[in-house]
Amino acid sequence: MNFTNFGRYLLLLKAVFRRPEKFKIYLQAIFKQMDFIGVGSLGLIAIISTFIGAVMTLQIAFQLVSDFIPKTIIGSVNRDSTILELSPTISAIVLAGKIGSAISSEIGTMRVSEQIDALEIMGINSPGYLILPKIIAGITMVPLLVIVSMFLSITGGYLGGTLSGAITPADYMQGITTDFNPYTITVSLVKAFVFGFIITSVPAYEGFYVKGGALEVAQASTRAVVVSCISILACDYIVTQLLL
């Protein structure tokens, strides 16, 4: 995103947060988007998180082959890595691909087929009507998905570790409960909140300013995913630096 695009992005956000014409209609749109972003992504997040948790346990066990290091460390490392980094960041990147491309192509198609013009002619604040429900759904549902992801990733670690014999159930349980710092959950949820905003607002921006036809909509969709992923990683670093 160059400076011109960033400026236009900020101006779009200003328009997004104008007072809604009718709260009831916006509320319906928010619930619809929550269903799409939250419920619709639950299966994907569950599968990815469980497998990442299982693989993480096996890899940590593979690397920590020393008699001086207790096996419980496997559970602790898996827990902290999952909560602080893997669950929020991997979930966000996966969601940027799934939701970001959908948002960008939906809004982009509306732009090229003059549906956004139709909204504006009716006197509706089109950025608000189209984008605000998506952003609200994003910043509420992504943290919830990340909570589910944390739980399933740690559970996946337990299953992967115990089924393969890399760690005993008792060692794993002791590992994930020893020296637990609840602040890591706060950091993770702040990240999820920021990522939820990026996943919805950046693709919406890319779609909203599409010019042309089907090819440009597809290009905007690809750009939306790429820019979202880079923004997620950059914000991941910034939030980590600020909060830890």
Where on the chain is the footprint of another protein (CB under 8 A)? 18, 21-22, 25, 109-110, 113-115, 117-118, 120-125
Please answer whether residues 142 and 195 qualify as being in contact, where contact means their C-beta atoms are separated by less than 8 angstroms. yes
State the minimum distance, in angstroms, from the CB of residue 36 to another protein.
11
Q: Which is nearer to another protein, 10 or 122 (CB)?
A: 122
State the minimum distance, in angstroms, from the CB of residue 105 to another protein.
12
State the minimum distance, in angstroms, from the CB of residue 18 to another protein.
8
Q: Which is nearer to another protein, 123 or 165 (CB)?
A: 123
Q: Which is nearer to another protein, 115 or 186 (CB)?
A: 115
* Per-residue tokens: 105: 């192509």
Measured CA to CA, the distance from residue 175 to residue 81 in angstroms comes to 13
Q: Which of 146, 112, 132, 102 is nearest to 27 (CA)?
A: 132
State the minimum distance, in angstroms, from the CB of residue 3 to another protein.
21
Q: Which residues contact 184 (CB under 8 A, 6 or more apart)?
A: 80, 83, 84
State the minimum distance, in angstroms, from the CB of residue 121 to another protein.
5
DSSP of 216-244: HHHHHHHHHHHHHHHHHHHHHHHHHHHH-
Please answer whether residues 236 and 10 qualify as being in contact, where contact means their C-beta atoms are separated by less than 8 angstroms. no
